[in-house]
Amino acid sequence: MLDGLSLAPQRFRSVAAPLGVVAAALLMLVGATIAAEASPTAFAVLGIGLVAVVAVAAVRWPRTAIVLVVLSPIVDRYIVADVLPSSLETAAHYLSEAMLLAVGLILAGRALLEGRLVAAFRNPVTGALIAFVLVAAVSAVLNGVPPLIAGVGIVFTIDAAALFFLPRLVGFSPRQSIAAMVAIGGVVLIAAMLAIAQALLSPRLLGMRPVRGRFGEEVRLASLFGDPNVFGAFLVVAVPFAVLGAARLPDRRLRWLSGAIAFLLLLALWLSFSRGAWIALILGVGTVLAVVDRKALVIGLLLAVTSFGTAVVMPRNLLVPDQRRPNIVDSTVDRVSAVGLGGDLRTLFVIRSIPVIRDHPVLGVGPGRFGGAVASNFGTPIYDEYEFRELFWRPTQRTVDNFWLHLLVETGILGAAAFLAAALIPGVRILVAARRSLGWRRILLGGMAAALAGMAISSGTTMLLEANSIGFAFWFVLGIGTLAATASTVTESRSA
């Protein structure tokens, strides 16, 4: 007992120190946001200071710094950008990229000095990503894509893959991986509770901005994220961990608590009206849970049904009674009908892309030439050649809202196959390890496998893996999941 008491201050310091770094980063972020109204220069200085704080933290607490990088796109793209002057909004979007670059360089330098750099990249994912870059480069040359557009197109597609390797540079134990996922899940849970409060009280609660629906939704709630599809995707990431916890945690009270958390996450998911996330929940999370843990699948199904019923009948807009009540059932039927009648824009993008794929099946039309932010920013002759312009009639419609379609058209079958290999090789390994695991390992590995499947399927209805808000999380979970799966395999081998 005395030994435990003597270790208590040391344990407190080990937790308090990285939390202090997080607090300092938040203070710098708030300061930069406030200063932006008065001086762009002050915003830039404090922004650089924030990157420096995280970079310095990477030396002492590398895992905390990596998690901060994973969460940073949520802040710079949706929270900070919404309150900044329009002239600084684009600059804010590069904050997460700067943090990734700074932390990556520091961790790579540290690994080089310690002789661990080469081992971190000795992985089949490295070969698959190199193959993708080579295919994209050949496609760019053969299609005459300008080097700048080709380079930016490739970078926008794979820069988030650095988050696969950063955990390998420092190592993540299963316990540390659990802590990282709890941190990410905690942010998502807070956002979910805020979305539920939006639904109960007012869609514009605390200055949050709902998105106007086009199929009778009235408002699509996105909480802190601003984009309901991104919010929905993060909810899909968090749900399987909570559902598996409700099924497999050792303490009954913890199981009930985990079930309550899963209910809140699912309720917020229905309120987001993100049909792509709903599909990802059913096809991605549901399929993985069916493979990994049938008990969790049953619990998840019961929670999904009860939370959906709650979303339909719960009180709405108590502070703004003049706000029309969204109808989840009718609006979803209208959405499905639009797809069947050929009026769904995503479906039209797929249909219009068939001639492009038929003309360029193997190598595609070249990186940066179709579907993504690069084609929107730099322009592309493909849209005129294949008559896509009429589909971009809304000013806010900048992409084809389908990452996999964008990838296939730009880099062809070879490029899409290489990218899929980079994701599937570690993903399948995590899934196999999850099936063989018990207890906490099953919750961790099964949750990761389900979250990855959900993110991949969500990217079929929007450009999530190009936008780093989900791209960072996707590759990070792949990275720590591979390490956790390896640790699981080693443990099983020793016990055998």
Looking at the predicted structure, is the pLDDT value of residue 33 above 70?
A: no
Total domains present in the chain: 3
Residues 460 and 381 in one domain: yes
pLDDT, residue 194, reads: 93
Residues 244 and 132 in one domain: no
Residues 284 and 423 in one domain: no
- Which of 100-114, 296-310, 336-350, 423-437 is least confident? 336-350
Confidence of residue 91 (pLDDT cuts 50, 70, 90): low
Residues 354 and 439 in one domain: yes
Which of these three, 286, 309, 336, is where a domain ends? Answer: 336
Residues 89 and 228 in one domain: no
Confidence of residue 496 (pLDDT cuts 50, 70, 90): very low
Residues 393 and 474 in one domain: yes
- Identify the domain containing residue 102 by its residue range: 2-115
pLDDT, residue 183, reads: 92
Confidence of residue 3 (pLDDT cuts 50, 70, 90): very low
| DSSP-derived 3-state class of residue 220 | strand
Going by C-alpha positions, the residue among 243, 354, 218, 349 that lies closest to residue 296 is: 243
pLDDT, residue 7, reads: 45
Residues 199 and 280 in one domain: yes
| DSSP-derived 3-state class of residue 465 | coil
Looking at the predicted structure, is the pLDDT value of residue 367 above 70?
A: yes
Residues 485 and 349 in one domain: yes
Tens digits of residue pLDDT in 134-192: 999 999 999 999 999 999 999 999 999 999 999 999 999 999 999 999 999 999 999 99
Confidence of residue 94 (pLDDT cuts 50, 70, 90): confident
CA 265/CA 307 separation, integer angstroms: 9
Give me the mean pLDDT over the 76-87 stretch. 62
Average pLDDT, the chain: 86
Residues 152 and 57 in one domain: no
* DSSP assignments along 296-353, one per residue: HHHHHHHHHHHHHHHHHHS---TT-TTSPPP-HHHHHHHHHHHHHTT--HHHHHHHHH
Residues 323 and 374 in one domain: no
Q: Find the Cα–Cα–Cα–Cα dihedral 421, 426, 432, 433, rounded to 10°.
A: 170
Residues 9 and 157 in one domain: no
Q: Output the six-digit token pair for 193.
A: 């509770």
pLDDT, residue 30, reads: 65
- As a whole-number percent, the residues of the chain with pLDDT over 70 amount to 82
Residues 316 and 276 in one domain: yes
Tens digits of residue pLDDT in 182-237: 999 999 999 999 999 999 998 888 777 777 666 556 678 888 887 888 999 999 99
